[in-house]
Structure 1
Amino acid sequence: MAGMPIPSDEAERLRELYDLVALEAAEKAGDGEVALEPDFQSIADLAAYVCRTPIALVSLVGRERQYFKGRTGVLWAGTDRQISFCAHTICGRTLLEVPDASADPRFRDNVLVTGNPHVRFYAGAPMVSSRGYALGTVCVLDLRPRRLNAQRRQALLTLAREAAVLLEAHRSARLAEEAVRHLQEMDDLKRHFLTGINHELRTPLTSIRSYLQLILDGELDRETEQKFLRVIERNGDRLLDVLDELLLLSSLNARTAVFSPGPADLAAVVRLAVQEACAKTSHRQHAVAVKACGRVEVEADTGRLRHALVHLLDNAFKFTPPEGRVDVTVTGGPPAVEIRDNGIGVTEEDVERVFESFYRAPEAERLAVGGTGVGLAIVKKIVQLHGGTVRMEHNPGGGICVRVTLPEPPPRI
């Protein structure tokens, strides 16, 4: 048997298959059974009927296997690509007809010919995408030598074209469903954001108005009046912080935020961020440990980067019970910061979504943890400004680990 042929555009062809999400279910199933798709099953049934063959397949040729999206006359979910007749069809881009496989040097030693089901006849038409890639075939097989007439060849080519169109239509339908789901999620986020921002703004404003009214009534002693003024000042600062964060997110989204990177020591930036974050939550008495092996060179806007790290630390403190532990580690090669806590953690779904703008985890809502859902979105955008990445994952012993990785700084000349 001749070796398996490889199309000249194999890499692009496979990329197109994965872009279409055409192989996902089949590859996950491996050698297991995959539910046939009714539309493609109808094409296989029609091909068998028109060509008068006992076997017909709608197959996609993957990297190592071919997978059947529709089949008539066999129970296989797919075959190894090495023994696939269709692997030859996708190279020629035209209908391939093998009148007698046992007499064809390419196939006479093929296990499908020498063993069950003892294939003798094959005809396959390539499924060519709108971008010109042969993704698979609509093919028919028989157990005796034969030939198709011109009308049946044309019918097979037509069915292959329709299968390719159907494959792309399924991708369009999936994209439409994803778009609808995304719009629904955005609508939910907007609703949660409006609820959250209403609370974050209304609560301090209500407090300010109440304390001002008490002061204006003029019945307070000076000590109480000063105490109330300090409460008003704190609530005013809280309002300004919320508005500053919203404006910063807006400028980061619009790419108008000031960004002035320069040589910096990541370890020093981290220590300043830890001091700032700890000062805000000293009453919770967290155990905070910072580990840094000397100076770690980065190219960074230290103000922006410190702002992002303070957000991450605030988040760790919020979801870690009083007297819990937060460990901060700075490493080089590449420069990175890890923030580990032993707090309540988040779900797998939340790990994937916490860096979305305005997203608040259900646990934050349940525990009434303050926030507008913009902090981690700001972190991600600031890290991306630096050309870095930020990732959240679960700690094996409980809690969360957030890792910020930055690029190596350019060489100093």
Structure 2
Amino acid sequence: MTSLPWPSDEAERIRELQESHALDAALEADYRAIADVAAYVCRAPIGVVNLMDAGYQHFKGRHGIDLTGIGRGQMSFCSHAIRGRDVLEVHDALADERFRHDPAVQGEPYMRFYAGAPIVTSGGHALGAVFVADHRPRRLLPEQRGILPTLADGVAHLAELHRHSRRAQLVEHRLKELEELKNQFLRTVNHELRTPLTSIRSYLQLIQDGGLDETTEQQFLAVIDRNSARLGELLDRLLLVASLNARTVPFTLASADLADLARQAAAALAERARAGGLTVTVHAPVPVPVRADAARMRHAIEQLLDNAVKFTPPGGRIDVIAHVEPAPAVEVCDTGIGIGPAEIDHVRDDFYRGAHAEDRAIGGSGLGLSIAEKIARMHGGGMRIDSLTGRGTRVRLTLPGPAPCP
């Protein structure tokens, strides 16, 4: 057998085969029907819809043959067929120098005759071939030869329709997710806005009604002030996530120490942590130099700490760890309630609140992890989350190292 021929568009052809999902099992019944028709019309014992990847020929539709596939080098007929756009007809393989030593000719399935039409998509790439084969030399009649390209076109159309169907399903699924996120956003914002507003209005009404002593009035004013700050913080978060999504947030890189930013963030959340009965420990013994917008990075770390404080029961522990190697990073590890496997891929989405947050009525806008990751990515870094339900969570922000001195 001569060396295996490769189409000039092999890389693009393989990519389109993968992107079309033409190998999906859902299409096999249709492929089998096409193989049956090809064998019947051509009066051939073997009919196959053959889809070819880089190293294997997948017999996704087959008639008269038990093989589900064969190695690319074990049968070279279709490799020749997909290089052209016409039907390849080999009347007697033993008399053809290209195929006389082919393993499929010398051994199972002992092919002497082959006729195959390439399966060409609208993108111009051949995904494989529809072929018929026989154990004896022969020729096709003109009408038999003419049916093979029609059947091959049918396979290409089926694959493309399947691809569009899959895309439509993915779009529909994504739209449902977005609808749920929108509803979650409305529920969250409604709750987060309504609760402090209701408190402010109630205390203002009591103050306006009069009759309060000065100490009580000052206490009520303090509650109003706290709730006003809570509203301001929520609005700031909403504006920040909108700016991060639009990539319009102000951003200035300069030399910074990630270890120092971790200590500052921990200090800012220390009072809340103590009030919640939590122990916060910072492990940052050496500087961690980075190029960063210090204010943004400190804000990102604060978001992680805020999340840890919310979801760690009293008596728990939070560790903040700054790393130099293998890349500049800061980790926030807690002994909290953790994140379930079904939610781990969603907790970084805007406004996503896990089932534990809803069940336990834990406040929040569902933006903390989203904001932290967006800030890390803005710096060219990333965020990784490791968690087990009931065993705590570790969130790691990683940044590129500082540029070397010239």
The two structures have a TM-score, normalised by structure 2, of 0.92
Q: Which residue of 181, 184, 189 maps to 1:189?
A: 181
Q: Tell me the SS of whatever aligns to 1:352.
A: coil
The structure-2 alpha-carbon separation of the partners of 1:396 and 1:185, relative to structure 1 and needing over 3 Å to count, comes to closer
Q: 1:362: Cα distance to partner?
A: 2.0
- The answer for the alignment partner of 1:310 in structure 2 is 302
- The answer for the alignment partner of 2:65 in structure 1 is 74
Name the aligned partner's letter for residue 188 of structure 1. E
Name the aligned partner's letter for residue 20 of structure 2. L
Q: Tell me the SS of whatever aligns to 1:37.
A: helix
Name the aligned partner's letter for residue 375 of structure 2. I
Give, in whole Å, the separation in 1 of the partners of 2:165 and 2:65. Answer: 29
**1:340/1:395 contact within 8 Å kept:** no
- The answer for the alignment partner of 1:338 in structure 2 is 331
The structure-2 alpha-carbon separation of the partners of 1:185 and 1:230, relative to structure 1 and needing over 3 Å to count, comes to same
Give, in whole Å, the separation in 1 of the partners of 2:283 and 2:394. Answer: 15
RMSD (CA atoms):
2.2
Q: Is the deviation greater in 386-395 or in 296-305? A: 386-395
Say whether residues 1:7 and 2:18 are aligned partners. no
The structure-2 alpha-carbon separation of the partners of 1:154 and 1:408, relative to structure 1 and needing over 3 Å to count, comes to farther
Say whether residues 1:49 and 2:47 are aligned partners. no
Give, in whole Å, the separation in 1 of the partners of 2:134 and 2:285. Answer: 71
Q: 1:293: Cα distance to partner?
A: 5.4
Give, in whole Å, the separation in 2 of the partners of 1:264 and 1:172. Answer: 49
Give, in whole Å, the separation in 2 of the partners of 1:323 and 1:115. Answer: 73
Q: Which residue of 319, 333, 350 maps to 2:311?
A: 319
Q: What pairs up with 1:246-261 in 2 under 5 angstroms?
A: 246-261=238-253
Give, in whole Å, the separation in 2 of the partners of 1:334 and 1:16. Answer: 37
**2:104/2:111 contact within 8 Å kept:** yes
- The answer for the alignment partner of 1:398 in structure 2 is 391
1:214-236 per-residue CA deviation (whole Å, 9 max, x = no partner) reads 22222222222222211111111
**1:89/1:96 contact within 8 Å kept:** yes
**1:395/1:401 contact within 8 Å kept:** no
The number of aligned residues is: 404
Q: What pairs up with 1:225-264 in 2 under 5 angstroms?
A: 225-264=217-256
Give, in whole Å, the separation in 2 of the partners of 1:14 and 1:118. Answer: 28
Q: 1:7: Cα distance to partner?
A: 2.5
- The answer for the alignment partner of 2:106 in structure 1 is 114
**2:251/2:293 contact within 8 Å kept:** yes
Q: 1:395: Cα distance to partner?
A: 5.4
Q: 1:205: Cα distance to partner?
A: 0.9
**2:322/2:330 contact within 8 Å kept:** yes
Q: 1:183: Cα distance to partner?
A: 1.2
Q: Which residue of 261, 265, 268 maps to 1:269?
A: 261
Give, in whole Å, the separation in 2 of the partners of 1:280 and 1:241. Answer: 15
The two structures have a TM-score, normalised by structure 1, of 0.90
Say whether residues 1:384 and 2:367 are aligned partners. no
Give, in whole Å, the separation in 1 of the partners of 2:349 and 2:185. Answer: 12
Q: Which residue of 357, 363, 375 maps to 1:370?
A: 363
- The answer for the alignment partner of 2:153 in structure 1 is 161
Q: 1:36: Cα distance to partner?
A: 5.0
Q: 1:363: Cα distance to partner?
A: 2.2
Give, in whole Å, the separation in 2 of the partners of 1:65 and 1:401. Answer: 42
Specify every segment of 5 or more residues in structure 2 that has no aligned partner in the other structure, as ranges: none
Q: Which residue of 54, 70, 88 maps to 1:96?
A: 88
Give, in whole Å, the separation in 2 of the partners of 1:103 and 1:278. Answer: 86
Name the aligned partner's letter for residue 378 of structure 2. L
**1:389/1:406 contact within 8 Å kept:** yes
- The answer for the alignment partner of 2:50 in structure 1 is 59
Give, in whole Å, the separation in 2 of the partners of 1:176 and 1:313. Answer: 39
Identity %: 52
**1:390/1:402 contact within 8 Å kept:** yes
Q: Tell me the SS of whatever aligns to 1:238.
A: helix
**1:48/1:56 contact within 8 Å kept:** yes
Q: 1:397: Cα distance to partner?
A: 9.1
Structure 1's consecutive aligned runs of 4 or more residues displaced over 4 angstroms after TM superposition are none
The structure-2 alpha-carbon separation of the partners of 1:5 and 1:394, relative to structure 1 and needing over 3 Å to count, comes to farther
**2:273/2:279 contact within 8 Å kept:** no
The structure-2 alpha-carbon separation of the partners of 1:279 and 1:107, relative to structure 1 and needing over 3 Å to count, comes to farther
Give, in whole Å, the separation in 1 of the partners of 2:93 and 2:319. Answer: 67
Say whether residues 1:145 and 2:137 are aligned partners. yes
**2:92/2:137 contact within 8 Å kept:** yes
Q: 1:93: Cα distance to partner?
A: 4.2
Give, in whole Å, the separation in 2 of the partners of 1:397 and 1:195. Answer: 26
Specify every segment of 5 or more residues in structure 1 that has no aligned partner in the other structure, as ranges: 26-33
The structure-2 alpha-carbon separation of the partners of 1:278 and 1:120, relative to structure 1 and needing over 3 Å to count, comes to farther
Give, in whole Å, the separation in 2 of the partners of 1:260 and 1:228. Answer: 41
Say whether residues 1:296 and 2:288 are aligned partners. yes
Q: Tell me the SS of whatever aligns to 2:344.
A: helix
Name the aligned partner's letter for residue 376 of structure 1. L
Q: Is the deviation greater in 108-117 or in 67-76? A: 108-117
Give, in whole Å, the separation in 2 of the partners of 1:146 and 1:400. Answer: 69
**1:355/1:377 contact within 8 Å kept:** yes
